Structures are given as structure tokens and as C-alpha cells.
Amino acid sequence: MSAPDSGAFTLSIVAPAFNEMETLREFHRRLAAVLDAIPAVCEVVYVNDGSSDATIAIMNALRAEDSRVAIVDLSRNFGKEIAMTAGLDHARGDAIIVIDTDLQDPPELIPQLIEEWRNGYDVVYAKRTVREGESALKKTTAALFYRIIQRVSRVRIPEDTGDFRLLSRRAVDALVQLREQHRFMKGLFSWIGFPQKAVLYRRDPRFAGAGKFNYWRLWNFALEGITSFTITPLKVATYVGVVVALFSFLAAALIVYKTLAFGDPVPGYPSLMVVILFLGGLQLLFIGVMGEYLGRLFNESKRRPLYFLNAYEPAKTPGADQSAAKR
């Protein structure tokens, strides 16, 4: 069994934050109200991802007020994927929930995630039915990305699903063994396997502040996901190269035949330039694709640590350390 049938258990909440001073207190107020009603030893692992505002000061204040709060303070901004990894590395629970602090994902859904975990699921992910407060363009591009990666990846990555989910202890133990530099967590959550189930919910708009992902960052995020979980772009380059080469040989043979048989002149300058520019552009495109993969190999070969910490302040909740020690 991946979840206890009855009795108390240890619950960890992993909440990465980057410049979230406007939302953090309201997030913790709502989260604390939910945790107060759950019969579990709880800890809230806040991860400060190199914030430049008062986020870390608010985290320290929350820790002084609530013994369940732990703080993982990264040495700089490493990005959300690595911030989540740092939180999971330090989470001590039998069940671990990953949630953003912008209140787009409602903490009130946590009991439902726990219920499905108790039913034997190792990964319970929250699937969005509605995305409030987002533009039509963002919704369309997000839907397109999920459908593309579904088709090209060997791993089934759920559509319309973010990082909000519950993971069992054995799922987290498996996940933290994956130390690749280029991390696409939505894919890694699926790659580890184990029984998984969706819980549907309505995503709210941000409580305050602005989103951290602009369209350029979203494009790079999509590129990261595709290159991390499939070599389809390389296969496409191979297939397109074979087809273009075949047509080039056929066209060359046709030109030679027409010249010898009918005395037709070789096509002139415009045709030549079109062919050169087309093939040159195609070559540069696929050299770029290969460069993306080669760059990732270069970064992985350095084997650098994923992150460094300014500080780690564990929760002061009675029983949390004992529960972790029993495992």
C-alpha cells in the first residue's frame, strides 16, 4: 500500500516561490486553515527561489508564527523546476503535495488529493477544467503544446495539468534519484510511473501580482519539454533529409536527361538561387535542432549540483522528525 489505511500520517506541502510577497500571506492563511482540519503531522516547505523582494522575510515571519513552516532558501534564482526539486529533496512526509503560492491552485482541494492517495494512488494530479484569468492565446498555445508532446513522447503526460499534485513517499524517493540538469517536471512526474489519477478542478486567476512566465519563457519551457522527452525532432530531420535528397537526385537526373535528349538549357539563376536558399535554410534549421540536443549533452556532462542553499530551516512541528526517522 502506498498510503496508510487509517491513523495519523505525515504530510508535506512543497511551495516554491519567486517574488511572491504579495500573495504569500494570503496563501499561507488559506493553506493553514486546510491543514488544521487534516489529521496529520504537517510541514510546509517554502522554497525561496532567489527572490529579489521581501519574499524571504515573509517566509521567516511565517515560520516564527507557525511551527509547521520549513524554509529552503536557494543561493540564487535557479528556476521553478529546480526549486520544486529542492523542496522535494527536503520534504519529510509520507505524502507530499506540490503547489504554487499564487493561489491559482486552491489549497482547499488538498483533502480530495489525500482521499485518492488513501485509495492507493501514488500520484494524484489536479487537472484543470477551466483556466480563469488567462488570455485566449495562452490557453490555445498551452493546449497545443500538451497535444504535441502527447504525440511525440513515449511517456503519457496528462493534458491541461500543471505541477499541483500529491506524490506518495515512494514516488518522491524515485523522483529525487533523477538528477538531470534540464528538468521538465511534468514529464518526470509521469516518467516514474506508479498508479496515477486525475482530480478535476477549476483554476483561479492569480490572487495578486503578475505571472512570471512571458511568451518567450513559455516557448523555451516547451522546447525544454520536447527535447527532454523525445528525439522525434532528430528523427524528423533524418526523414526530411532523406526525402529532400531523393527529390534532389530525381530532379538532377531529370535535368541531365532533358539536356541530353532535347538540348534543353539548365534552369537559370532564379531557379538556382531558390534551390540553394531552400536547402541552406533546411540545413541550418536541422543543425539548430541537433545543436539543442548537443547543448543539453554538454550541460549534463559537467555533472554540476542542481542547486546550492543559503540556508535550510526545518519545521518545528513535533513528531515530524520522528516520522521521517522511522522511514
Q: Where are the alpha helices (DSSP H) in 66-200?
A: 80-90, 110-118, 136-152, 169-175, 185-191
E-only strand ranges, 179-271: 196-203
pLDDT of residue 327: 38
pLDDT of residue 16: 93
Nearest to 156 by CA among 115, 180, 125, 128: 125
- Cα–Cα distance for residue pair 311/327, rounded to 1 Å: 24
The phi and psi torsions of 298 (rounded to 5 degrees) equal: -60, -45
- Cα–Cα distance for residue pair 143/63, rounded to 1 Å: 38
pLDDT of residue 323: 41
Amino acid at 177: Q
pLDDT of residue 325: 37
Do residues 289 and 234 touch, judged by C-beta distance below 8 A? yes
What is the share, in percent, of the chain residues with pLDDT greater than 90? 26
C-alpha cell at 187: 514529464
Phi-psi region of 3 (alpha: psi -120 to 50; beta: other; left: phi over 0): beta
Nearest to 44 by CA among 35, 52, 53: 35
Amino acid at 187: G
pLDDT of residue 326: 37
- Cα–Cα distance for residue pair 250/206, rounded to 1 Å: 58
Q: Is the pTM value of this prediction over 0.75? A: no
C-alpha cell at 63: 515560520
Which residues are registered as beta bridge partners of 11?
42, 95
Do residues 105 and 203 touch, judged by C-beta distance below 8 A? yes
pLDDT of residue 222: 64
Q: Which residues of the chain have pLDDT under 50?
A: 1-2, 319-327
Residues sharing a CB contact under 8 Å with residue 224, sequence separation 6 or more, in sequence order:
182, 184
- Cα–Cα distance for residue pair 71/56, rounded to 1 Å: 9
